[in-house]
Amino acid sequence: MKLVILDRDGVINYDSPDYIKSVDEWKAIPGSLEAIARLNQAGYRVVVASNQSGVARGLFTLDDLNQIHNKMHRQLAEVGGTIEAIFFCPHSGDSCNCRKPHPGLFHDIAERLGVSLARTPAIGDSLRDLQAAIASRARPMLVLTGKGRQTVQDLEGFGDVPIYEDLSHAVNAILSETSL
């Protein structure tokens, strides 16, 4: 099975230091939804793994989060794409295993989908995303959208993490590998 794991904020949609708290604040990064649709068309299953500590902080509710995700699903369907599942950590602080950089969300994905994550592309914009991918044996990929440009400065000691301008460019690389 071909699978790709995506972070949400900063990869699929614009991020905000004040959190994405409402449907109105959620805005797709140009080309990101089409990139997901291209993955789907090439036979990839796509899932999201996202920290959403704004829930624990009381900045938005689970209902708000579901409305945001419904908007994302609707807009994605309009371009012919789908996200199979959204795995998120609603906690704040680093004490739980599901909050990235811990690999709990990735382990949940592997268990629920019945797959090994070895070499599965995991695309994120932050150091936490890359650390969770590495800890779960997935293949980390960094995009420069969201916190990505800042994250590049912190990559010392991470080996050869490939860096892409945005999700569309990362998807181009994944699809070019499968066509070889």
* Distance from C-alpha of 168 to C-alpha of 142, rounded to nearest angstrom: 12
Which residues on neighbouring strands pair with residue 86, listed in sequence order? Answer: 48
Measured from the Cβ of residue 169, the count of other Cβ atoms closer than 10 Å reads: 17
Residues 6+ apart with CB under 8 A from 149: none
Q: CA 155, CA 84: separation in Å to the nearest integer?
A: 30
Residue tagged 């609603």 (tokens): 90
Alpha-carbon distance 115 to 17, whole Å?
A: 34
Length of the chain: 180
Residues annotated catalytic, as ranges: 7, 9
Chain CA centroid to CA 32, Å: 11
Phi then psi for residue 123, to 5 deg, are: -105, 125
